[in-house]
Amino acid sequence: MKVDDLKRLYDGDPRPTFLVDCEIQPATIWHANTASKDLDLLGCATQCLQSKAWVAFKEWWDPHNRSPITSQQHFTFAGAPWIKFMAFDRWRIVTIANHQIPDNTNFFADGPIASLARAVSLPEPLLDSIFNTNLRSPELRQHVQYVSRVDWGKTSIGSIDSWSPELTQLVTTVLLDARPTALLLGPEYVIIYNLAYARAIGPKHPRVLGQTVTSGWLEIASDIPAISERSVKTDFADVPEKEYHYMIEHEGHTEETFLTCSLVPLVCRIDGMLLERRVNALLRMGQLTGEAQEFEKFWPSILESVKPFEYDIPCAILYSTLEPDTASSMGSGRGGSRYCTLEGTLDYSDPHPAFPLTIDLEKDNRPLTRALNDCVKEAQPVVYCKRDGQLPEAYYQNLKTRAFGDKCEALIICPIQPFGKETNSGYFIIGLNTRRPYDQEYQEWIQVFSNLLGTSAASVSLHEEEVAHRKRGIAQAARDRAALNDELSASEFKLETLHDVAEKVGLGYFEYELDGKVKHANQAFFAQNGHLQDIPDAPPFTFADRLYSDNKEMAMERWDTLTKGIPCTFEMRWKRSPDSEDGTDTRDYLWVLSACVPMRSLNGTVIGISGCNTDVTAQKESARLAMIRSEAIERATATERRLAAVTELSPCGFFQLAPDLKMQYCNEKWFQLTGQPIVPYDAISWEHIILEEDYASVVQNTQKVIAEERTLSVKSVIGTMMDVSQLKWAEDLQKIRVQEALESKRQQENFIDMTSHEMRNPLSAMIQCADSISTSLMEMIRLAHQAVPSNLTPIRDGLLELMDGCTDAIDTIQACATHQKRIVDDILTLSKLDSKLVSISPMVIQPHTLLRDTRRMFRDEAQKAGVTLEMRAEDSIKNMGIDWAILDPSRVLQVLINLITNAVKFTQDQDVRKVEVIMGASSSAKKRDDVEYVPPDTIRGSFLDDEEWSEGEIFYLHFTVQDTGCGLTADHKAKLFLRFSQATPRTHVQYGGSGLGLFISRELTEMQGGNIGVGSNEHAGSIFSFYIKSRRAQAPPDAHLDFPPHQPAETLPKPESQTKLGCTIQVAGHGEEALEELKKTTHWKYPITETPSKLSVILMDIEMPVMDGLTCARRVRELQDEGEIVAHVPIIAVSANARREQVEEAISAGMDDAIGKPFRIVELMPKIRKLVDMG
C-alpha cells in the first residue's frame, strides 16, 4: 500500500488520528487526519510545547523514547483516551479510542502541527467527460444518451461515476472516433461502442450495448479469451485482421455482409481502481465500526461494512472471543476467552455445518480450532488454500457465490488484536478474491485491514471500560451515601425502638393538658380509641366521645381525681367498630387498663396528665369464655344423661370400647343381642361371644379404625350392633337362585346343542348329496355332448332335457335345504352372538353368484306368492372391474334371506307385488340418501387385517331390497333392528316371525365392516339397504371334497364320486377305527402295511360312538409325543355344536381347526389347504 493511500485511509476516519514516521529522528507528526484538523485538537502553539501534559503525551507516542511510559498501550490526553499501533513496520498510528471529544478542544492554538494538518492536499476533482459535455451533433448526443442510460452498475466495470479518469478518457476517445470502434471491458468483456459501430451492426444496436460478449456478440466470443491471455503475457498486441460473415438487416430486409475486424487488446494496470476500491472498503469499515460503542453492535458493523465489496471479500466468517457476561470489562477485551462465539457469516448458508456456534479453543481439536490458535501465535493474518488440504473441503462449500460466482479457493484468518499480540478479541475469516493474485499489495491491504479491526476493537473496549469505570464510580458514591444513611438510620432506630416496643405490645401512651387537649400520643393510643390524629386541631376532651357510654361518668371522675394530683389505675372500654377480617369478632368495644399520673411543674403544680393504656380485651375475653365453658360443661353433662336414656330405649345395641378394646359402656339391647349376662362393664368379656372364624376380622377392623385417626388421640370407640340374620338368610337364598339360573342356562345351552346337532346332521347330508348329484349331472351333460354320436341326437336331446330337469330339481332341493337351515340358523346365530362365537370366514367367489343363489332360493316362494322377483347388478360392478372377491357368502346370504323373506311376506297381499334386489359396488362407504342407517352400537376392529383375507384392494359391496309392500311409519321404523322386536304387535299374528331376523342382520352387517338401514313410508313400500367391506381376489382353482360324518350310511358319498374331488377319502366309523387306519399311513413310525398311504388331514367328528373325537385327538397327540407318530397330523373338528366353548374345548384337545355343520365343500377346502400348506 502506498503512503498516499494510507493518508486517504485515515482521512476518512471520524476519530482524530495522526501518523508518526518512525524512520525519522527526532520523531515528528508526519500527517494529521481531517478530524484532527477540524477540531484543532493537535494545534500546538509555542506555549503548548512546554506543557507537561504535551511532553508526557509525546514521550508516550515517540518511537525513539526508552522511558517506561512507552510500554503502555493507551494514554489519556486532553480528556480523551488514546491508543497506538504500528503499520508496515514504519508508521505509528495514534488515534482516539472512542467518540468522546475532549472538552478543552481550544486548549491548543494553531501551531506547526496544525499547519501541517491543514497543508494536507485533497484529491483533485476529475476533468469533464463526454457525459457532462454539451454535444452539438444530435446523433452523437443521442448515442451518448443510450450509453448513459445503461445500468453499468450491474456490470463488472461499475457505474459511470465510479470509473477512473483513464477509463473515462478512453471511453470518451472511442465515442468521439469516426471509425467503427468498440471496447470490450473487464473480465466479462462488457461491450461499449461508438456511433459508427452502431451503424455497422444494424438492428443489434442498442440491444448489445452494456451486454457481455457471450450474450450479445457470439460471433467473436470464441476469439476474445485467447487474444486477451496472450496480450497480458506479452504486453503486445499482435492480432491480425480477420474477416467475419454477418447477416445484418438493412432497409427492412436482411443482407449478407462481410466485415473485416481488427481486435486490438488494451493491456493496462488497474492498480488505481483496485486501490480505490480497497481504500473505500477500509474507509467504510473504519466508519461503521467507529460508530459502534459496544461489542454487541461492533460485530454486526464489521459484516455490514464489507458487504458492498464482494470482489475483494466474497465471503466471510466472524467469531468473537469475548465472554458474554463480561463484554464491558477491560479484561475481556484484552485477555480474550477460551470460547469462540459465531457472530455471523457472509455468503455462507445459515446454518453452515462447518462453522459451529461455539468453539472451545482449548479442548476442541477440529481443524478450524487449530487454525485459529495458529493465527494468534503468528499475530498476523494466515492464508489457508483449498489445495493444501489444511482445512476440510466443507469450509469451501455451501456458498451463495457472491462476486464472480467462482468457488472459494483460499481463506485468510485475521486475528482481531486490539492491544498487541497478547490480546485477542476475535477472528475475521475472509475468502480471497478468486481473480486477483495474493501479491505484496494484497498482503499489505489485508494487514492494514487486520490492524484497523484491532484498532476499532480497542476503541470499543476502552469505551466500555470507561463506561464501566463511571458505573463503578456511581456505585461507590451510592454506597457512600448508603453508609451515611445507615448511620443516621441507626440513630433514629434507637429512638424509635422504644416507640416500636410500645406499639408492638399495644401499649398506648399519651400526654394531656389540663384543658383536655392532647399534647402527645403514640399510634397505639389512636388505634385503641380512634382519636383524631391531627393533634393541634383536636378539640378539648375529645376522648370522652370515644368512651363507651357505661364508662363515661367513671372516666370523668378519674380525670378530676388526677387534676387534684392523685394517681389512679382503672379499667374502661373504648368504642370501636366490629370490623375484624374474618367477620367472627362482633364486639363494639375495647377493654383497656389505664394507669395515669399527674404531671407537675417545678413548683409542684399539676400542669398535665400522662399515662398509658394496656389492651386487656383478651384477658376479659378469656374470663368470659371460661364462664361460657363452665356453662357448656354443665349442658354437656345433661346431654350425656339424655343420650344414655336414648341408647337404653334404642332398638340397636350401643357399645363403647377403650383403645385397649375394654368395654366402657353398653346398653341393655347389647346384652339382649349377645346373650351376655348383665354384669359391670369392667367385668364384660365380649371376645367369647363372637364366632371363632369372625373374631380376628372384628379385632382387625376395630384396630384399623383407631389407627386411621392420626390427627387426634382416640379416647374410645363407639359402635352399634343390629340383628341382620334375616338379611343374611335372604343373601343365601339369592345365591341359591343364581346357581339355579346358571344351571338352567347351562341345560338350555345343552338343549340347543343337542337340537342343532340332531337337526343339522340330516341337513348336512341333504346339502352334500345335492352337491354330489349336481356335480354328477354336470359331468353327465358334458359327456352327453361329447360321447353321444350324431345319429343319436334325439336320444341325446332327451337325455339332456331330463338332466336339465334333474338339475333344476337339485337346485330346488339345495335352496329348500338352505331355507330350512336358516330356521335353525336364526336360533343358533342368536346363541352364538350372545356367546361372541360368530366369525366371518373368507371365501373367494364371484359376487353375481350371490344374486343367482338368492334367485334360486326364493324363485318358487315368490311364484307361489305371486310376487315378481327381480335381481340385477348396477353398472358400478362392471365399471370397477370386480370379478372375484373375498368375503363370507353365507353371512351375506343370511342377511339377504332375512330381508327378502320379509319383503315377500309383506308384499304378497298388495295390489302391486314386486320385490327388487340390487347389488352395487363403490370404493368408499356410500350411503343412500333415502335410507336411514342404524348407528353401530359397538366399536369393532377391522376383520380384513387378518392374513387369511389376503391383500387385495378394499371395496364396498352394496345390496338394496326394495318392495311395494305396506310400508312403515316412523314409530314402526324406530322399533326395527332390535332383539325380539317387530314393527307392530299385529305383525306376528298376521305374518309370523320371531323378530330376530333384522337384529341378526344388523349384527352380521356390522361384523363385516358395514351398516344397514331402512327407508319407508306407510303405504309406499320399503327400501332395506346394507353394505359390507370386501377385497378383490384372484380366481381360485376348482376343488371338491366329500368327508364322512359319524353316520356313514346317511352321508357317505359314492365311491365312484370320490375321484372328482381331487383327493382320496378313507372312512372310519369311530375313534378307535381312526387310530387303526392311522397305523396304515406314512405318519406311523412302523406302518403295519407294506404300502402305507399318505395322510394330509383328518376330519374328526366330535360326536362318535365307541371313542369320541376329543378323546381320539388327545390320543393322537400323545402318540406324537411318544414318537409313535413321526409327524404332526392336521385335525379339523366337525360338529353341529359350534359355540365358543365347544370350539375352545376342541382346540385344547389337540385339534388344529374347527367347522360347524351343515357346510358346503367350498367352505371346507380353504381350511384344508391352509393346514396342508403349513405342512
Q: What's the CATH code, domain 505-615?
A: 3.30.450.20
In the predicted model, is pLDDT for residue 853 greater than 70? yes
User: Contact 607/594 with Cβ under 8 angstroms?
Assistant: no
The answer, yes or no, to whether residue 1058 has pLDDT greater than 50, is no
CATH class of 843-1032: alpha beta
pLDDT exceeds cutoff 70 at 846: yes
The amino acid that residue 951 corresponds to is E
Contact (CB, 8 A) for 874 and 918: yes
| Greatest mean pLDDT range, 5-19, 94-108, 840-854 | 840-854
Find how far residue 686's CA is from the centre of its chain: 67
What's the confidence (pLDDT) of residue 880?
93
* pLDDT score at 1045: 41
CATH number of the structural domain 1048-1173: 3.40.50.2300
Choosing among 3.30.420, 3.30.2010, 3.30.450, 3.40.50, the CATH entry for 130-268 is 3.30.450
Return d(Cα 524, Cα 828) in angstroms, integer: 94
Q: Which residue has the higher pLDDT, 1081 or 583?
A: 1081
Whole-number pLDDT of residue 252: 65
Do strands 1098-1101 and 242-250 pair parallel, antiparallel, or not at all (unpaired)? unpaired
Give me the pLDDT at residue 246, please: 65
Provide the pairing of β-strand 29-32 with 17-21.
antiparallel
Return the higher-pLDDT residue of 1162 and 683. 683
Cβ(857)–Cβ(770) under 8 Å?
Answer: no
Range of lowest pLDDT (49-63, 116-130, 152-166, 644-658): 116-130
The predicted pLDDT at position 24 comes to: 79
Cα gap 287→289, rounded to integer Å: 6
Instruction: With 0.85 as the threshold, say if the pTM is over it.
Output: no
Residue-wise pLDDT tens digits, 167-200: 888 888 888 887 888 888 877 888 998 888 888 8
Alpha carbons 1025 and 1007: distance in angstroms, whole number: 16
Residue 1050 buriedness (CB in 10 A; 0-12 / 13-18 / 19+)? middle
902 and 997 Cβ atoms separated by less than 8 Å: yes
Mean pLDDT of the chain: 79
Strand order in the sheet with 717-721: 663-666, 653-657, 717-721
Does the domain formed by 3-118 have CATH 3.40.30? no
> How confident is residue 793, by pLDDT bands cut at 50, 70 and 90?
confident
pLDDT of residue 980: 56
pLDDT recorded at residue 204: 81
Instruction: Compute, in degrees rounded to 10, the torsion defined by CA atoms 32, 33, 35, 38.
Output: 60
The C-alpha cell at 477 is 458514591
One fold for 843-1032 and 1048-1173:
no
Three cell numbers, residue 536: 393541634
Which of the pair, 646 or 888, is modelled with greater confidence?
888
C-alpha cell at 227: 487474444
Mean pLDDT of 142-167: 83
Q: Which of helix, strand or coil describes residue 23?
A: coil
Cβ pair 1054, 1067 in contact under 8 A: no
Tell me: the pLDDT tens digits for 271-284?
A: 566 777 888 888 88
Write the DSSP symbol of residue 952.
P
CB count in 10 Å sphere of residue 142: 13
Three-class DSSP category at 85: strand
Task: Give me the mean pLDDT over the 679-698 stretch.
Answer: 82
Helix (H) or strand (E) run with residue 607 in it: strand 606-615
The residue among 576, 606, 608 whose CA lies nearest residue 590 is: 576
* pLDDT value, residue 873: 93
What is the C-alpha separation between 360 and 55, in angstroms, rounded? 45
Identify whether the C-beta of residue 826 lies closer than 8 Å to the C-beta of residue 1000.
Answer: yes
pLDDT of 563 higher than 80: yes
Q: What is the pLDDT of residue 590?
A: 86
Model pLDDT, residue 7: 74
Strand order in the sheet with 382-385: 358-360, 339-346, 316-320, 426-431, 410-416, 382-385
Kindly tell me if the per-residue pLDDT of 108 is higher than 50.
Answer: no
Which residues, in sequence order, are CB contacts of 601 under 8 Å at separation 6+?
Answer: 607
Is residue 1047's pLDDT more than 60? no
Report whether pLDDT(62) > 70: yes
User: Region 152-176: what's the mean pLDDT?
Assistant: 82
- 693-735 pLDDT per residue, tens: 888 888 888 888 877 776 777 888 888 888 888 888 888 888 8
Q: Kindly tell me if the per-residue pLDDT of 1011 is higher than 70.
A: yes
Residue keyed to cell 468483456:
189
The CATH architecture of the domain made up of 272-471 is: 2-Layer Sandwich (3.30)
Hey, where are the domains in the chain? 3-118, 130-268, 272-471, 505-615, 650-723, 843-1032, 1048-1173
Q: Is the pLDDT of residue 838 over 80?
A: no
pLDDT, residue 1015, reads 92
Instruction: Indicate whether 118 pLDDT > 50.
Output: no
Distance CA 81, CA 98 (A): 7
Residue 799: CB atoms within 10 Å: 16
Give the pLDDT confidence score for residue 270 in this predicted structure: 52
Range with lowest mean pLDDT among 943-957, 974-988, 1091-1105: 974-988
- 712 contact partners, CB below 8 Å, separation of at least 6: none
pLDDT band at 104 (very low <50, low <70, confident <90, very high): very low
Say how far residue 56 (Cα) sits from the centre of its chain: 67
Contact present, 1008 and 1029 (Cβ < 8 Å) = yes
Mean pLDDT of 648-674: 84
What pLDDT is stored for residue 584 in this prediction?
Answer: 61
Q: List beta partners, residue 248.
A: 255
Which residue type is seen at 927?
K
Q: Dump pLDDT digits (tens) for 460-485.
A: 888 888 888 888 888 888 888 888 88
**Closest-CA residue to 57 (of 18, 6, 31, 14):** 18
Rounded-to-integer distance, Cα 654 and Cα 463, Å:
92
| pLDDT on residue 581 | 54
C-alpha cell at 320: 468473537
Residue 541 has pLDDT above 80, yes or no: yes
Q: Which of 2-6, 592-596, 832-836 has the highest mean pLDDT?
A: 592-596
Q: Which of 525-529, 592-596, 936-940 has the lowest mean pLDDT?
A: 936-940
